Amino acid sequence: MRSNYLSRRVAGLRVSGIRKFFDIADAMKDVISLGIGEPDFATPAPILEAGKKSLNLGETHYTSNAGKQDLRQAISDHLLSLYGIGYDPGSELIVTVGVSEALYIACTALLDPGDEVLIPTPCFVAYQAEVLLAGGVPVEIPSRYENQFSLEPADLEKAITSRTKAILIGYPNNPTGAVASREILLEVARIAEGHDLIVISDEIYDRLVYGVEHVCFPTLADVKKRTILLGGFSKDYAMTGWRIGYAAGPAELIQGLVRVHQYTVMSAPTIAQSAALEALKSGESYVQDMLSEYDRRRKLIVSGFNNLGLDTFEPRGAFYAFPSIRATGMNDNEFAEKLLSEEHVAVVPGSAFGPGGEGFVRCCYATSYEQIEEALQRIEKFMQRYG
């Protein structure tokens, strides 16, 4: 019998640093988790009721592979209203099982073995893994604290080879909270156009920005024709467990995604599609209320970390702070492990998010204001011992 039946791709994948610390924290009592990037708000009531209504109507069957037509139309209208960019709901949109599936099918549809994908880091932990699972090669482009973790177009362009096929970006950024400026993204658009590359733009946190503009990448210059836009409902509408996302892009690319999707999951959950439709109809006031509360927490946690000597640049998007822990003399894994075991506060080591994350930890402020206050008090005691 063989010693290992797993494929080399799967056997070589590292365990998610987020999941590791979540599992440890889940087994402990009195833990304040700043680890998992999930809204602490319940899904707004009208969205819940839409899901219940769908169940009561017996809508428990498959939908079209691409998703319900009315939801695809609503997503197109939503993007047109927000960003002035529309997509044909019949051929340029697909509803997916969260943005995670959208990313998976995009990589699977686009990449041949050995194709390289440029990925600015630190980034969401799934980016490199999805490229590898599709047979591609992730090429990491580290960003730096000194530049507020801004993407460096010159570094991106230097990494291009004859095997480069795509650029994968995610702004607002998880884990840093950085928001890419229009000027930076125009440079990315220029690079993509000049080297004939596809851009996959993960914009799951598009509505969660604070005092700055979110730039929807395919609205720039002439890049819509070479961009796959990923979006969803998990973060903006507190719908993580509903598992609803989407991909939008040129018809010839989206039809490739549909081919993978139809053999993988058939269709996204039907009742969740109905709930997502209601989110687009009546969810805006809830988005604004959550955004206001996240902003209040953001100010608390950033000022708290800086006052404790944990240098933290101001995150302008998503719901993460990314403090430096180098003043403690520990690496990020050691810091996270000690903080969890000694003070029962869970954070995620920055190195879990790729090059550029070493010496930092990701702290999610999608938990209550009072919990953040208590976490800061515990971290203060920790810093008195190690800071």
Mean pLDDT of all residues in 35-52: 94
Share of the chain above pLDDT 70, in %: 96
pLDDT of residue 187: 97
Mean pLDDT of all residues in 365-375: 97
Residue 17 has pLDDT above 80, yes or no: no
With residue 98 as reference, give the H or E element that holds it.
helix 98-110
Residue 383 has pLDDT above 70, yes or no: yes
Residue 204 has pLDDT above 70, yes or no: yes
19: CB partners within 8 A, 6+ apart: none
Q: What is the pLDDT of residues 227-269, one digit of tens each?
A: 999 999 999 999 999 999 999 999 999 999 999 999 999 999 9
Q: Are 64 and 216 in contact (CB under 8 A)?
A: no
- All domains in the chain, ordered by first residue: 8-43+285-386 (3.90.1150.10), 60-282 (3.40.640.10)
DSSP labels for 200-229? EEE-TTTT-BSSSPPP-GGGSTT-GGGEEE
Q: What is the pLDDT of residues 125-160, one digit of tens each?
A: 999 999 999 999 999 999 999 999 999 999 999 999
Instruction: Label the pairing between strands 198-202 and 116-121.
Output: unpaired
Q: How confident is the model at residue 307 (pLDDT cuts 50, 70, 90)?
A: very high
How would you list the strands of the sheet with 348-349, edge to edge? 320-321, 361-364, 348-349
Q: How confident is the model at residue 29 (pLDDT cuts 50, 70, 90)?
A: confident
Share of the chain above pLDDT 90, in %: 90
Give the angle subtended at the CA of 185 by the CAs of 183 and 189, to the nearest 5°: 115
Alpha-carbon span 27 to 46, nearest angstrom = 34
Instruction: Label the pairing between strands 227-232 and 245-248.
Output: antiparallel
Mean residue pLDDT of the chain comes to 95
pLDDT of residue 12: 81
